[in-house]
Structure 1
Amino acid sequence: MDEESAAGGVWLFDGIVWVLRNIAMAFWNLGSALAQPHLWLDWTSSEAIMRVVYYGGSVEFFFVVVTFFLVITGVGLWNNGFLWGVVRFLETFANTLGRIFCWAGLLMVLQQVVIVFMQRVFARPTISLGLGIPMEFDVSWWAEELKFYNALIVALCLSYTFVQKGHVRVDLVYSAVSFRTKRVIDMVGSVIFMMPMAVLIWMYSWFFMWRHLIVPNPSASEPLERLLMKARALRWNVETIGFSPNGFSAYFLFKVLLVLMAGLIFLHAWAFLYRSFLEWKEGPESEDKYLDKDVLDAPDPGGHEHAEI
């Protein structure tokens, strides 16, 4: 029993040392990347592309991002006004993105109406869009593209919906506890659930995306040296195969959206953590402070409060 306890203690100590070492190295890794941008931004070089593929899903990149937010957290604990500024910036970013791409819902409806008219009324097999050099595809291409509009809304409006408090909350104990206990639950949820989930989705979707963009296919288990060796045979092989012969041919965009969605979840997990902490510290009077929430402005003849989106 003593030997098992000692082994567990050594394992825990090694884990803590590993984390601290990676946090310390994050400053060096970030500085090295900024000082040598040609190593990863010059995409005329296949090795630069492979470096992006590797580092985008690497431990080094993860600790650079986490260390960046830890520094923000440290400054914010010293100056709460700065932390409120970070919250407002991240929430404004999520709101702006959501308010732009929510219009994809309207485009989806209008395009579906056009498809029905072209098929049933005019009996046309293709639809042309554009001036001068129009973009012409089979009707089935436009019909399958509707999935992409739906994906835009799901992936890029997800954090907007969270800011607007539009997600369904499964409430077992939340409503019965005090204000500050709720904020503690929110903070724990951000760290234990949102952030790890975002990291796991990112790790899966990052290499999933690149396997549909280049060959030879990269793998998350391959070290940088092996990927650089593969770079000699690298060529672009962007996925253009649809579900039907004349269907939508840009399914690689769905993989890109999956990566963007994971990144947005991770960013807003930090924003939600900071807001929960600040509201916990400042008390009930700070609830929804600086929150830019959309409301319906139509007059309410029944005297009820305006419905929130």
Structure 2
Amino acid sequence: MQEVNSASLGSALNAVWSGLLWTLQNLAEAFLNIGYAVANPSMWLDWSDKQAVMRFVYYGGSVELFFAFAAIVLLISIIGFIHRPFMWGCVRGLETFANTTGRFFAWAGLLMVLQQIIIVFMQRIFTRPDIVFGFGVPLQFDISWYAEELKLYNALVVALCVTYTFVQGGHVRVDLIYSAVSFRTKKVIDMCGSVLFMIPVATLVWMYGWYFMWRHLIVPKPSASDTLERLLLKSRAMRWNVETIGFSPNGFTAYFLFKILLVAFAGMVFLQAIAFFYRSYLEFVEGEGSENKYLDKDTLGEGEEAYEGVH
């Protein structure tokens, strides 16, 4: 029995050691891969070359890309741990990106409302089967096309405003334990949450969303299980086949945009997870006086403070 337990323990330790070596090896190779990619941009950015497109598809959802990002984040983190103002600068930059993107695409909600009003007027009052916009060469589609396009505005708000809402503290949260613990404990929970939940989930969504997107843009359809060599072979028959089929007759024909938004959503959540980890660490180190430091929160104006943060 003791021999079996010893063998199991030895196998577990060996597996951990092998995993650690694999991780360190990939991190070391990441810097070489980054240098090679920067030095040879035509290998993956020259989309007049079908093989370059397939390389872009493969590396966009590859282990190499993940470790390239991990190596960059690790390097930035080390610099930030040594020089905290640099880390604060990263936090401000990433949060500004989230806020700016969110504030811009939040206007899609207004467009959605206005377009819905136009649809109702055209259907019920003018009894028109279509809507025409523009001069010279007008944009003319059936009303059902514009009705289904409303989903796109909703997707823009959800996918591109999610990190903005996170920065603003607008997401619903149930603080049964979090609200009762000390300030520094909260920051530890935040750091663990960003590393153990936000980053892994964003990575999984990116990995699945990346190939899901490209399967609706090109043929032969790429697969997550395809090796680089197999994709390069497929490049001989590759052609663009952007999805333009609606779910209903005369319906919205640009559903490929939803796949692109899914990938954008995952990328923005990944970046915000890094910013949240950095902010939580800095507030943990510097204490309560640094809480919400440099945080660019929306305000309703002077005298409306009582209504802010009410959802």
TM-score (norm 1): 0.97
Distance (whole Å) between structure 1 residues aligned to residue 66 and residue 31 of structure 2: 12
1:109 equivalent in structure 2: 113
Alignment of 1:72-151 (within 5 A): 72-151=76-155
1:281 equivalent in structure 2: 285
Q: How far has the Cα of 1:154 moved from its partner?
A: 0.1
2:306 corresponds to which letter in structure 1?
Answer: E
Maintained 8 Å contact 1:159/1:264: yes
Matched, 1:71 2:75: yes
Alignment of 1:1-309 (within 5 A): 1-297=5-301, 299-300=303-304, 305-308=306-309
Distance (whole Å) between structure 1 residues aligned to residue 198 and residue 32 of structure 2: 28
Structure 1: any 5+ residue segments left out of the alignment? none
2:219 corresponds to which letter in structure 1?
Answer: V
1:205 corresponds to which letter in structure 2?
Answer: G
Q: How far has the Cα of 1:128 moved from its partner?
A: 0.9
Maintained 8 Å contact 1:296/1:308: no
Q: How far has the Cα of 1:156 moved from its partner?
A: 0.1
Aligned residues: 306
Distance (whole Å) between structure 2 residues aligned to residue 140 and residue 250 of structure 1: 13
SS of equivalent residue, structure 2 residue 44 = helix
Detail structure 1 runs of 4+ shifted over 2 Å in the superposition: none
User: CA offsets, 1:21-47, max 9 Å, x none?
Assistant: 000001100010011111111101110
SS of equivalent residue, structure 2 residue 306 = coil
User: CA offsets, 1:227-261, max 9 Å, x none?
Assistant: 00000010111111111110000000000000000
Structure 2: any 5+ residue segments left out of the alignment? none
Maintained 8 Å contact 1:294/1:308: no
SS of equivalent residue, structure 2 residue 245 = coil
User: CA offsets, 1:194-246, max 9 Å, x none?
Assistant: 00000000000000000011111111111100100000010111111111110
- Percent pairwise identity: 62
Distance (whole Å) between structure 2 residues aligned to residue 276 and residue 24 of structure 1: 28
2:188 corresponds to which letter in structure 1?
Answer: V
